[in-house]
Amino acid sequence: MSAADSFRQVNAAFAARVHGARPDSWDNEAPCEGWVARDVVRHLVEWLPGFLESGAGIRLEPGPSVDEDPVAAWDVFAAQVQALLDDPASADVTYRGRAGEHPLPQAVEQFFVSDVFLHTWDLARATGQDEALDPERCAAMLAGMEPWDEALRSSGHYGPRTPVADDADPTTKLMAFIGRAV
């Protein structure tokens, strides 16, 4: 699957949660310590532009404020990301960052699309929506992350692994691995 298709798929699930959030749920506590639901959107909308600009010289246009309209903020932002990934010229751009050099679509998929996927659960939990994630993607992500357990924990981006039953569903296993209370 191309990075463009991967983002399209993951964004469909995330955007469904964004659009499904009740207006009064945007200030609900999120599973990420110190965050509310709108902070999940804010995090995604704010970190990728700096990543793109510093590593590839690509600048995204600012969109609506997450504080004023998190739905519009996400929609405008996601449309720009999708357009970037759909542009065949993006394959010729090299991302250069702390994790080395990667073709831009690969870097966006590896670092950003996976983040959107994981935060779909956070937004769903904060806004009282369906928390189920694509089980195949969950299993693949978990298998890819487990060998990096120590490095991931030491990055500060993930909390301690939460114990779950061996027969837990793939979403629960993945979220427990990254330290979410499930």
**Do 143 and 117 sit in the same domain of this protein?**
no
**Do 70 and 124 sit in the same domain of this protein?**
yes
CB 84 within 8 A of CB 49: no
Give the rounded distance of the alpha carbon of 20 from its chain centre: 17
Confidence tier at 22 by pLDDT (50, 70, 90): very high
The pLDDT tens digits for 55-106 are 899 999 999 999 999 999 999 999 999 999 999 999 999 999 887 899 999 9
**Do 119 and 154 sit in the same domain of this protein?**
no
**Of 115, 131, 147, which residue sits at a domain end?**
131
For 51, which DSSP code? H
Environment class of 68 (CB within 10 Å of its CB; exposed 0-12, middle 13-18, buried 19+): exposed
**Do 121 and 66 sit in the same domain of this protein?**
yes
Tokens of 110: 């590896």
What pLDDT sits at residue 148?
82
Strands (E), 74-134: 94-97, 100-103
**Do 78 and 138 sit in the same domain of this protein?**
no
What residues have CB less than 8 Å from 68, skipping those under 6 apart? Answer: none
**Do 30 and 113 sit in the same domain of this protein?**
yes
What residues have CB less than 8 Å from 51, skipping those under 6 apart? Answer: 97, 111, 112
Q: What is the distance between the alpha carbons of residues 54 and 45, in angstroms, rounded to a whole number?
A: 15
What pLDDT sits at residue 158?
78
Q: Which of 140, 143, 182 is nearest to 160 (CA)?
A: 182
Domain assignment of residue 175, given as a range: 132-182
What pLDDT sits at residue 61?
95
What pLDDT sits at residue 159?
77
What pLDDT sits at residue 75?
98
**Do 44 and 9 sit in the same domain of this protein?**
yes
**Do 108 and 152 sit in the same domain of this protein?**
no
**Is the pLDDT reported for residue 155 higher than 80?**
no
**Of 131, 150, 173, which residue sits at a domain end?**
131
Q: CATH number, domain at 99?
A: 1.20.120
Number of domains in the chain: 2
